[in-house]
């Protein structure tokens, strides 16, 4: 693979790290993205997203000439597609980004090329990708038509990394490789083995697609149990963090930690792909999604009750991203809660989010981005929505005279006799 030229389509939270890791193996990598600003930033050796250590690797890869970004696909030997797969109205999968990627690379395909879909996708999406490619390039053969003897090889290999640890997990984690034929699978496995130290396990394409959805649905179901416990504990005036700590002392119990909901482009979205495929049978998966989708409303109800105790409350919201120590706001329950509090005019809203430099458009001019010190000094109500590392060191004494709604438990877990009471 050292002489291959690889193109990565989509330079976001997965595509850019993947392109950079490949380039660090001294492989020529062409990154493609429709965002001209992102392309320009990368070509300057800088990054447009937050991910630990990525900036150094991108700078090195660009400086050494192994990575360049462009808005227009160029010929390559392998194409990795890492574009978003959101859902549209009715929780239906939106494959428009995959379709656009397919149509953009189709003109530069040549016999012997490999196309891999990394985007988390509903079952059947990779086969649909191959059909889109075949529609444009009728001069080439594809696996759905001639099987093992196709000109173009097509496979699915879903990413399975944790934001904040992407560079390490891209290399260390096992990968599930599902080709449309055995030859497709082997070609994809060979590519990933150039940088993956974990096992590259071959299966069929549909199993690979469902595997990623299953992983995220498993986590969603277990988070839903924790979130439902937190609602029950609130009703019964029990500290859920203490409850879970005690229950987890059982040797076969491992309850996760509750939060304000579930966000991100994976866990909050992927289970709906299974529900959409088999709506009559995905009952537990659907219910878990509904439990987690309702959790922000429970937080807002607590905030409303607290705000009503003040004439003109100042409310500080700690965290906007969907998880700790990243800048990703996609499907963020924290962002939804802040937006709803602003819309309901609950009071003066302050936002503390150390991983962004400006508020998203939906909040611009409606609230204020401030430091933790400013928020702690002026707020009547403090809502902890994301457990960023900067919030772990907050002096609990500064919270004593405030109403505190701690949805992550970092200020509410018992610390001797210094636990902060919950609203």
Catalytic residue numbers read 212, 266
In sequence order, the β-bridge partners of residue 29 are 6, 67
Rounded to a whole number, what is the largest CA-CA distance in the chain?
A: 74
CB-CB contact of 255 with 248 (8 Å): yes
Residues 6+ apart with CB under 8 A from 81: 9, 10, 98, 101, 102, 105, 115, 116, 117, 118, 119, 129
CB-CB contact of 321 with 334 (8 Å): yes
End-to-end CA distance of the chain: 58
Residues 6+ apart with CB under 8 A from 57: 20, 21, 24, 167
H-assigned helices in 44-124? 54-63, 96-105
Q: How far apart are CA 357 and CA 127, in angstroms?
A: 41
Three-state DSSP at 165 gives coil
Q: How far apart are CA 179 and CA 349, in angstroms?
A: 50
Phi, psi of 368 (to 5 degrees): -135, 135
| DSSP, residue by residue, 238-252 | --HHHHHHHHTTSTT
CA quadruple 63, 64, 65, 70: dihedral sign: negative
């Amino acid at each position: 693979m050292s002489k291959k030229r690889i193109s990565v389509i989509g330079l976001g939270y997965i595509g850019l790290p993947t392109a950079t890791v490949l380039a660090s193996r001294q492989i020529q990598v062409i990154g493609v993205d429709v965002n001209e600003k992102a392309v320009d930033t990368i070509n300057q050796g800088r990054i447009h997203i937050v991910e630990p250590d990525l900036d150094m690797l991108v700078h090195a890869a660009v400086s050494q000439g192994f990575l360049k970004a462009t808005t227009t696909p160029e010929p390559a030997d392998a194409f990795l597609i890492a574009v978003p797969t959101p859902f549209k109205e009715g929780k239906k999968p939106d494959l428009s980004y995959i379709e656009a990627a397919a149509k953009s690379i189709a003109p530069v395909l040549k016999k012997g090329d490999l196309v891999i879909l990394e985007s988390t996708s509903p079952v059947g999406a990779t086969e649909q990708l191959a059909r889109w490619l075949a529609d444009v390039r009728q001069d080439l053969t594809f696996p759905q038509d001639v099987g093992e003897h196709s000109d173009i090889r097509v496979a699915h290999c879903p990413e399975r990394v944790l934001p904040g640890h992407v560079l390490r997990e891209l290399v260390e984690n096992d990968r599930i490789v599902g080709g449309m034929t055995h030859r497709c699978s082997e070609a994809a496995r060979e590519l990933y083995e150039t940088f993956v130290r974990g096992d590259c396990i071959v299966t069929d394409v549909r199993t690979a697609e469902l595997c990623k959805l299953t992983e995220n649905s498993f986590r969603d179901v277990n988070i839903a149990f924790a979130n439902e416990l937190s609602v029950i504990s609130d009703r019964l005036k029990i500290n859920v963090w203490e409850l879970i700590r005690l229950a987890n002392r059982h040797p076969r119990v491992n309850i996760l930690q509750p939060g304000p909901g579930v966000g991100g482009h994976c866990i909050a979205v992927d289970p709906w792909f299974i529900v959409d495929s088999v709506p009559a049978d995905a009952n537990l998966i659907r219910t878990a999604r509904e439990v987690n989708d309702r959790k922000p409303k429970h937080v807002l109800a607590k905030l409303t009750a607290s705000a009503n105790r003040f004439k003109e409350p100042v409310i500080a919201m700690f965290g906007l991203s969907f998880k700790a120590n990243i800048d990703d706001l996609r499907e963020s329950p924290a962002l939804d809660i802040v937006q709803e509090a602003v819309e309901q005019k609950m009071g003066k809203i302050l936002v503390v989010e150390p991983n962004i430099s400006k508020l998203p458009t939906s909040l611009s001019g409606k609230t204020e981005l401030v430091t933790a010190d400013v928020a702690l000094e002026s707020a009547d109500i403090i809502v902890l929505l994301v457990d960023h590392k900067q919030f772990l060191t907050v002096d609990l004494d500064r919270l004593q005279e405030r109403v505190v709604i701690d949805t992550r438990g970092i200020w509410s877990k018992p610390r001797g006799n210094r636990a902060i009471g919950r609203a």
